[in-house]
Amino acid sequence: MNIIVLLSRAIDSEQQMKLKAGEIDYADASFIINPLDEIALEAAICLKEKHGGNIIVVCAGPEQAEKQIRFALAMGADKGIHLLMDDLKENASQIAQAIASSIQTIPFDLIIAGAFAIDGGSGQTGPRVAARLNIPYLTTIASIDVEKDEAIIRKKAGNAIEIYRGVLPLLITVPQGFNAPRLPSVAGIMKAKKKPVEKKQPTSVKEQFSLAVQYELPASNRKNQMLMGDGSMQAIQLAEVLKKLL
């Protein structure tokens, strides 16, 4: 089973995002694999462990994005494809076109992506890649099982579960909580250094359907209130605070 996982790098969620003149300041930013894409990679590894095959991770980003690709290889991916271009978080269409062009000649059974990136947040890249490759897709699924060349996918719909059955290839996106990604082992980290990473320079893409005018941090009006005394006194004070909020 050949699986492609779409990766994006994101600013570490434990780091406070900084803005400069209405733009995100990346000068001192530290990056990680987008957590939902890490979940997508874990889903791919679990399918590979069950059915065999290969996993290719595809990441569009500057030279520094190789660090996230190597981390994915250490987790268990077999090969990386690095599209050398800007992150373009504000324009999923351009990213999707570059990814689709780079993988359209690669035989695959399944493409897995995170439901959205924690910094861009559009959730468009995966579906746009599927549309360009002319394959079916399902977003934010609950589970997937594969039998020969067919996938059985469960998806939450309110309080119900919808079950889909479709022929491969197809694309799915996975949500937060779909699984718990593994940490790379020491052996995995060592092997990742020798695994291939193919670097590609995508042809320039001119189409643009959206434009980020500027970024602003949300206004902070949080007020801290200290509850003094022992446990019973703090409980009384907390009750008074909650009464005022009701």
Kindly state the percentage of the chain with pLDDT values over 90: 62
The pLDDT value given to residue 210: 66
| Helices first, then strands: H and E counts in the chain | 6, 14
Please give the average per-residue pLDDT across 81-98, as a whole number: 85
The pLDDT of residue 69 is above 90: yes
The pLDDT value recorded for residue 88 is 66
How far is residue 80 CA from its own chain's centroid?
15
**Average pLDDT for 86-110:** 87
**Mean pLDDT confidence for 134-157:** 94
pLDDT at 41: 98
- Tell me which long-range contacts 190-197 makes (C-beta under 8 A, separation of at least 24): 191/73, 191/74, 192/70, 192/71, 192/73, 192/74, 193/70, 195/73, 195/77, 195/78, 195/79, 195/80, 196/79, 196/80, 197/66, 197/69, 197/70, 197/73, 197/79, 197/80, 197/81, 197/82
Strand intervals (E) in the chain: 2-7, 9-11, 19-20, 23-24, 31-33, 54-61, 79-84, 110-114, 137-138, 143-147, 150-157, 160-167, 170-174, 197-200
Average pLDDT estimate for 86-107: 86
Mean pLDDT of the 160-170 span: 94
Q: What is the pLDDT of residues 122-136, one digit of tens each?
A: 889 999 999 999 999
Lowest pLDDT segment from 6-15, 133-142, 154-163, 170-179: 6-15
Mean pLDDT for all residues in the chain: 89
> Residue 199's beta-bridge partner residues?
82
pTM score of the predicted model: 0.84
Domains of the chain, each with CATH number or no CATH: 2-221 (3.40.50.620)
